[in-house]
Amino acid sequence: MADMNRERHRTRETAFYLFTQQSLPACKPVLTPGWVVEIVDRYDTECVPEAFRIDKISYIQDDSIPKNCSRFMKVHKYMKAPIYIYYQLDNYYQNHRRYVKSRSDKQLLHGQKYHDTSSCQPVELNSGQPIVPCGLIAWSLFNDSFTFIRERAELKVNRKNIAWKSDRDHKFGKNVHPFNFQNGTLIGGGKLNPKIPLSDQEDLIVWMRTSALPSFRKLYGRIEEDLDADDVIVVNLMNNYNTYSFGGKKKLVLSTSSWLGGKNDFLGHACVIIGSSSLILAIVFTLLHLKYRRPHGDTSYLPWNRKSLSG
Amino acid sequence: MCLLGAMGSGIFIDRKYFYLGLRQNVEDQFNPSKRFLVIILTMLTLLTLYSTIIPISLYVSIETIKFIQSSQFINKDLNMYHAETNTPASARTSNLNEELGQVEYIFSDKTGTLTRNLMEFFKCSIGGEIYGIGMTEIEKGVTERKGIKVQEVQTSNDSVQEKGFNFYDGRLLRGAWRNEPNHDACKEFFRCLAICHTVLPEGEESPAKIKYQAASPDEAALVLAAKNFGFFFYRRTPSMIYVRESHAERMGKTQDVSYEILNVLEFNSTRKRQSVVCRCPDGRLVLYCKGADTVIYERLGSGNDDLNKATRDHLEQFGSAGLRTLCLAYRDLAPDLYESWNEKFIKAKSSLRDREKKLDEVAELIEKELILIGATAIEDKLQEGVPSCIQTLSRAGIKIWVLTGDKMETAINIAYACNLLNNEMKQFIISSETDAIREVEERGDQTEIACFIKEDVKKQLKQSLDEASQYFCAPSGPKLGLVIDGKCLTYALDSSLRIMLLTLGLNCASVVCCRVSPLQKAQVTSLVKKGAHKITLSIGDGANDVSMIQAAHIGIGISGLEGMQAVMASDFAIAQFRFLEDLLLVHGRWSYIRLCKVVMYFFYKNLAFTLTQFWFTFNTGFSGQRFYDDWFQSLYNVIFTALPVIIVGLFDKDISPPLSKKYPELYKEGIRNKFFKWRVVAIWAFFSIYQSLVFFYFISAFSSTSQDRSGKMFGLWDVSTMAFTCVVVTINLRLLMMCNSITRWHCISVGGSILVWFVFIFLYSGITTPLDRNENMYWVIYILMSTPSFYVTLLLVPVAALLVDFLYLCVQRWFFPYDYQIIQEMHKDDIHCTGPQGVLGSKQQLIPDEERSNEISQLPREVSKHSGFAFDSPGYESFFASQSGKYVTPNAWDVARRASIRHKATPK
């Protein structure tokens, strides 16, 4: 009994203590500014050595030339982790009809067990053997790679979980391994490690969710460290992917994200413009209403009245 | 569009896009070395891709709407149900509903359609005194216009109720005429009625059961009248007429009197009179004569000018009231005079050549120095509500042509009775009954007759046209009316004169064609149909109207009384002419407005939808890649946007039926086809272009960056699903914006359509079947729904898309309101004061307004100022009240919309 009393006393005391000492548990509404910081770096021209600037296509198609290239990126504003790494391609028609349909979802899920891959034309078979994953989309997999160094220390890039979960779980088979991939005479893009099942090849999964517009971004990975203002990041990249033949741009984008996603000026502008135009309209109509009020049901507007009054 | 896209594809395709695999095994459509073929094939691809712009479901939807409109609304309208004959209106075709809203010319038969073919003795004038206190509909209209309240004549229960006798005046009935100062004239009057006729009695010889067989219903009505006045004609032998006279000598005394008929001078169209010479039981020789006022007045003896003048005034009064008049006169004959005349008569009667002519000449000898007794006025009983209906229709800008086989006098008379003609109108009468023509006809040479009449008709037409043309321009000039008879019409329909006839006819407010054959009815109808390029409507009841009913755009048969031929040939069948008002002003007008809306909306929604696809084509290297999933595209018209527009086609209601009948001028919007002009189409096209741009560019701009905290990007199908969602929501909301009335069905269907879309996409992207090869859409909606920006977009895009529409609607309503919108505003409070009081209140409010315009127009009987008839049928008020419980009326919506102008800024 006494114990219980003491117990109760103590809890009350504790509560009182917390109160007097101003240390009550509380949620702290800190209004974090919703800034989304974005750094864009176009590197397709800069990463071609001076000597090859005239004929970039021969440069990119020549395997013997080393493709590595270094870029410097200056962080002008504090960037809070996670920082998303995107590559952005312009003038790249991933939504071209021939391109979009050149894939086999069944094969991606079931692998070689699924034979009818006619939809993958023209990248269906190579020397009589089926290609897994087949189709133009997979064949033209983007294969530039990026590493980031800050003050001589490499920044860790997390390349997991960059594809939508539904794609990983339901569209790409867990037991499907790349087979006979990029073995043809023409190499379209990146190669895949045959040991890793497709459901873990997230680069491929991201790439195969074709974009809606000819200018698009795709997620490459995440830097999970904060970047401070005035940090200089060295990007070592392998400039493997051929956008030179069709004049496409390649850009590297570092961006933070808010609940509304990445930095999108248009969304903001649209909101502001629509909101303000509604407001202006409201004011204009109110003024009109007050000043030049058309009486409700003004019969003089009726044509037969107009006629009889004039005649 | 396709061509543009195809050209683009031809230019675009190039081997440089290595990722398209264009080096080998390239199908023709993308083969860079066969650019021309690429263009052709892409063209075909795009044709199928953009096929959604052609709304195939429009046809189905419109048919559905029309079918329900006709089978449910027209057929079941209680306002068009004729209880006495248990006949509802019946739409026998469902594809003319909208044309009912655009009718400009009505061709009407007379007998059975406008009139009941029932003659009723209505009034009389005896000895310079008018008897009979009934009022014709015309008179009621006139007095009502003058603001005098019409007092319903209290017909006491003991008054005589008989078909053909609609007369009440206590001064004459039941022998009371004996107390009148001019009772001798009355006696002569009644005797004349009882004797001077060619009627045969039939059946039992008692007043209640006897039936009269007469050549014309007028005569029967007159004899019937005599019976009711106490001069009961009950038997005829070749030389005798037996009349049972009550109260003739003194009150209460009944005696059978027999009159010996000596001669009968029969009626024909040139004589326009009929006489009987009889010998009374007391030996007096009397000639009783009845006939048209013109011929009788020529033959009156001198003296009695006061009486003649008074009677003439009465005749004019009767005539303008639409009554058929006859003058009665008598002459006492001296026996020797009669004997000498009778010899001549017998000679003429027995002559072999030109007997008719000779008889006429002989009749002239004795039918003179007549003494006028009085005049009768017979009402050619109109169908119920015909004058007011015609008046309403003509206010609605509809021109009515009466085509009848009757004689000219009768036709003109009915035209007066129906308010088609009145004395303020400038009338052009083109008749073949002129002396000149008659003279030529007597010579008997057919070719000469034809030539002469043709020349004469041409002359008359030209003269009328010259005269009429000076009124064409002046808006305040008198209305024009044209009367033409069948014989003239034969020549006027000749190709050389047709244009003249048409020009004259189209400029007249009303046209009466008399003595026309069924074929001519059809000819006149098709003349106007082809010549005026306006919607024409024919209405008739008998077999002779079938050709006319078939010739017009819309044929209407009067069902119920005469045979079924007219109904079988017609598109719509109604029981009464007056239901035309409901059929045209209410159903026709609504159908027209609704169908215009439906067609426009279909055009808009498909254009807006397809254009987003079009803009997308520009961004896919013109490859013809579809923006939307196949299922989206094919279900868009069928499910996601189908039902609401049908609901609008069925339930949209700008103003209530009493109002559309009260303001028939609103109908003119339909005649002018105001809601289906290129301007309207262009406005809708503009909005669909604008909205499609908003859809495509807003959404593509939004999707250029990642959409949520995970930093992942949307793919093609995510973006297209987002766009499609916005399209479905916006298009459905736009529908609500254009509704005049929003019932619960509107809300259910619009909400339901949007809901169905979400249900569909949840299922569609959630389920994969082995049959489904394409997994593009898999899980898409769940990804979308997991990102907050999807919701922001869903709010922002429809608002941005509809903002301009909203602006347009406001400006349009504010500065360029349609007529119906003003009416809506005038009556927006009707809902608050429910029931009849509200309606009546607004009516009284209008009266000073009307009077003012009456004064201004300086025409005391200007037809278009007439109002107040819209509420004469009982039951509208209760109908209105029950409606207000069921539906949110247009007015409430209007208020809400206006109120929202001020609140518009808040949601954004």
Beta bridge partners of B114: none
Within 8 A by CB and 6+ apart from B93, the residues are: B70, B571, B572
Give the residues across from A252 on adjacent strands: A41, A87
From chain A residues 4-63, the ones with a CB under 8 A of any chain B CB are none
Find the residue in B nearest to A305 (Cα): B853
Taking contacts as CB-CB distances below 8 angstroms, the residues of chain A near B776 are 105
For residue B146, the model assigns a pLDDT of 66
Can you say whether the dihedral through the CA atoms of A109, A110, A116, A117 is positive or negative?
A: positive
A228 secondary structure, DSSP code = -
- Return the closest-CA partner of residue B543 out of B109, B90, B96, B118: B109
Is some CB atom of chain B closer than 8 A to the CB atom of A99? yes
DSSP H or E run through B126: strand B115-126
**Interface contact B713-A311, CB threshold 8 A:** no
Write out the two tokens for B59.
């046809």
Residue A95 contacts B, CB cutoff 8 Å: yes
Average pLDDT score over residue span A289-302: 67
Minimum distance, in Å, between the CA of residue A4 and any CA atom of chain B: 49
What share of chain B has pLDDT > 90, as a percent?
Answer: 7
Q: Are A280 and A71 in contact (CB under 8 A)?
A: no
Q: Looking at the complex, report in whole angstroms how far the Cα of residue A153 sits from the nearest Cα belonging to chain B.
A: 25
CB pairs under 8 A between A and B: 256
Q: Select which of B14, B28, B77, B109 is catalytic.
A: B109
Q: Work out the minimum CA distance from B331 to partner chain A, whole angstroms.
A: 54
Is it the case that residue B124 has pLDDT exceeding 80?
yes
pLDDT at B61 over 60: yes
Cα separation, B905 vs B908, whole angstroms: 6
pLDDT at B608: 92
- Tell me: the pLDDT tens digits for B506-561? 888 888 888 888 888 888 898 898 888 889 999 988 788 888 888 999 999 888 66
* β B399-403/B103-108 pair status: parallel
Strand positions, DSSP E, A100-140 = 125-126, 129-130
Taking an 8 Å cut-off on Cβ atoms, the answer to whether B709 and A262 are in contact is no
Residues of chain A positioned with their CB less than 8 A from the CB of B718 = 212
CB proximity under 8 Å: A 171-200 to B? 171, 186, 188-189
Q: Are strands B254-265 and B240-246 parallel, antiparallel or unpaired?
A: antiparallel
Q: How many CB atoms lie within 10 A of CB B835?
A: 13
pLDDT in tens, B646-682: 888 888 888 888 888 888 888 888 888 888 889 999 9
- Whole-number pLDDT of residue B851: 38
pLDDT tier at B472 (50, 70, 90 boundaries)? Answer: low
Rounded to two decimals, the ipTM of the complex is: 0.85
Average pLDDT on A158-185 reads: 86
Contact assignment for B623 to A93 by CB distance below 8 Å: yes
Instruction: For residue B901, list chain A residues with Cβ-Cβ distance below 8 A.
Output: 282, 285-286, 289
pLDDT for B691 beyond 90 = yes
The string of pLDDT tens digits covering residues A100-114 is 888 888 888 888 888
B109 is catalytic: yes
Q: Tell me the nearest-neighbour CA distance from A303 into chain B, angstroms.
A: 8
pLDDT at position B42 over 90 = no
Q: A82 preceded by cis ω (within 30°)?
A: yes
Q: For chain A, give the longest Cα–Cα distance.
A: 107
How would you classify residue B482: left for phi > 0, otherwise alpha for psi between -120 and 50, otherwise beta?
Answer: beta
Detail the DSSP E strand segments found in A166-213.
none
The single-letter code of the amino acid at B708 is: D
